[in-house]
Structure 1
């Protein structure tokens, strides 16, 4: 029995970019389609109204995720990305806002209560502040954690390290102490090579005129037979055999007697006794079709 469902298997983006862009109106900063998805950048102070419009009037009922992104070179280095899903249309859109370390983003917990947890995660990882969030605390890092780990300028080792103190019988925080200083790496491609001479490689700089480097621009030529050792004298010398006159090469006038006679002479084995038949008959099917 065929089951019919009102929702399509997949929804097309045709016409939605212009339709949703016109609906957002003055709240919209930029809209584009990228990698098969619709992206709308709206004004930071209008994010709550924009998401309410998409939820109530365009059937994007579900808030799937709130993510962050960090672009340190921008004036407003952070982006907050809201991912919406329409259950009736089976379609997704993304809405973005930009902010910096100080400007707060209005909360959307008034639209979706689950946004409280998602905003706390973005606050913890990036340091973005959400005004109106009733419980804006760290959610993934520990109490007293310094910094925000997903920022591009966050050090790989962090600011503090923790250990258990046997003297104080508790976990204590201390400044990070490295066992050795950081080494500086140039991260150049091994195929391109470095701009400096590596230790122990001073003679092989790759320049044709450098000391010890082969003259690759001046190939060696062998115009005379003397340079290669070839010639008539060499051919005559090669024809002479060092083994000439050896006893092995003398003609003894003895005919080849052929292969030696067998050294073992035994009679044929007697016929096998018993009920077993020979191989040919044993492998043939019996009469009547029985195997």
Structure 2
């Protein structure tokens, strides 16, 4: 039995760009299609109003995710990305805005309660502030953690390390101390080549000796016409294997075609009987042991009376 759904099986993106662009109006900065989805860039201060229009007027009921992106070279280095889903039209769209460390983004907890956790995650990992979020605390990193680990300029080793102090009998935070001098990352692709000399590469520009030693004439190296003619000779020439290994011996004739072979005896018509193993002769039963004869009592002598 076929099941009918009110939502279409595939998202119809044709005409969606013009419809939503006209609905957002002055809140919209840019709209374009990418990877089969519609991407809308709105003003930072208009995020809450733009998402309310999409939720109430265009049936984008669910906020699926809030993510952050870091572009350190931009004036407003962060982008906050909202991913919306419409269950009635089976359509997904992406709405994003830009922000910096000092420009808070309006919270959307007034539209979706689950936005509180998602905004806390973006704040924890990127440091983006959300104005109006009454519970903006770290959610993934530990208490007392310094910095935001998803920023591109955050060091791979962090700023602090955590360990258990046996002397103080508690967990302590200490500045990171790198014991290895080679733990310096420049984030440069190895295929592009580094703009500095790596350890050991300085030897490539200098010769290991002051002057290379060469031979005065070819005969000193063993080269020449005489050596070339001798190189064509087989190394194993004259060996016993070379002398005896001429023509291969012919293969022996099949055994069945030999006239001297004796003919088979008998006929194997009854295959089942012929293949059955012969029964072993029955063993003779051991003879039963005779009971020992009873001894008769000896006659009493007259003197025993």
TM-score (norm 2): 0.66
Query: Cα 1:203–1:27, aligned 2, differ >3 Å: closer, same or farther?
Result: same
Aligned to 2:201: 198
What is the SS of the residue equivalent to 1:171? strand
Q: 1:262 is matched with which residue?
A: none
**Which residue number corresponds to residue 93 of structure 2?**
93
- Structure 2 CA distance for partners of 1:119 and 1:279, relative to 1, 3 Å: farther
Q: Compared with structure 1, are the counterparts of its residues 282 and 183 closer, same or farther at alpha carbon in structure 2 (3 Å cutoff)?
A: same
Aligned length: 232
How do 1:158-169 and structure 2 match up within 5 A? 158-169=158-169
Q: Equivalent residues in 2 for 1:5-24 (5 A)?
A: 5-24=5-24
Q: 1:64 to 1:280 in 2, by over 3 A?
A: farther
> How far apart, CA to CA, are the structure 1 residues paired with 2:149 and 2:166?
29
| 1:189 paired residue number | 191
Alpha-carbon distance between aligned partners in 2 of 1:230 and 1:162, rounded to the nearest angstrom: 72
CA displacement at 1:22 relative to structure 2:
0.9
Give the equivalent residue in structure 1 for 2:53.
Answer: 53
**Structure 2: how far apart are the matches of 1:75 and 1:164?**
41
Alignment of 1:210-221 (within 5 A): none
Tell me the distance in 2 between the aligned counterparts of 1:35 and 1:56. Answer: 26
Task: Specify whether residues 122 and 199 from structure 1 end up closer, same or farther in structure 2 by C-alpha distance, changes over 3 A only.
Answer: same
CA distance in 2 between partners of 1:184 and 1:227 (Å): 55
**Residue 122 of structure 2 aligns with which residue?**
122
Deviation at 1:138, TM superposition (A): 0.4
3-state SS of paired residue (2:82): strand
Aligned to 1:139: 139
Quick one: distance in 2 between partners of 1:105 and 1:118?
Answer: 13
Where in structure 1 are there 5+ consecutive unaligned residues? 206-210, 213-225, 244-248, 250-267, 285-291
Q: Cα offset for 1:134? A: 1.4
Inter-partner Cα distance in structure 2 for 1:19 and 1:121: 32
Give the distance between the partners of 2:158 and 2:12, measured in 1 at CA: 45
Cα distance, 1:37 vs structure 2: 1.1
Tell me the secondary structure at the aligned position of residue 19 of structure 1.
helix
Change (3 A) 1:204 1:64: farther
**Alignment partners' CA distance in 2, 1:3 and 1:178:** 62
Q: Give CA deviations for 1:181-200 in whole Å, capped at 9, x if unaligned.
A: 235577533999x9787255
Inter-partner Cα distance in structure 1 for 2:105 and 2:192: 46
Aligned residue runs from structure 1 range 220-239, under 5 A: 228-229=225-226
Gaps of 5+ in 2: 213-222, 244-260, 275-305
Match of residue 287 from structure 1: none
Q: Aligned equivalents of 2:201 and 2:269: distance in 1?
A: 76
Alignment deviations for residues 74-123 of structure 1 (CA, whole Å, 9 cap, x no partner): 00000000000000000100000100001000000000000000000000
TM-score (norm 1): 0.69
RMSD between aligned alpha carbons?
3.8
- 1:227 shift after superposition: 5.2
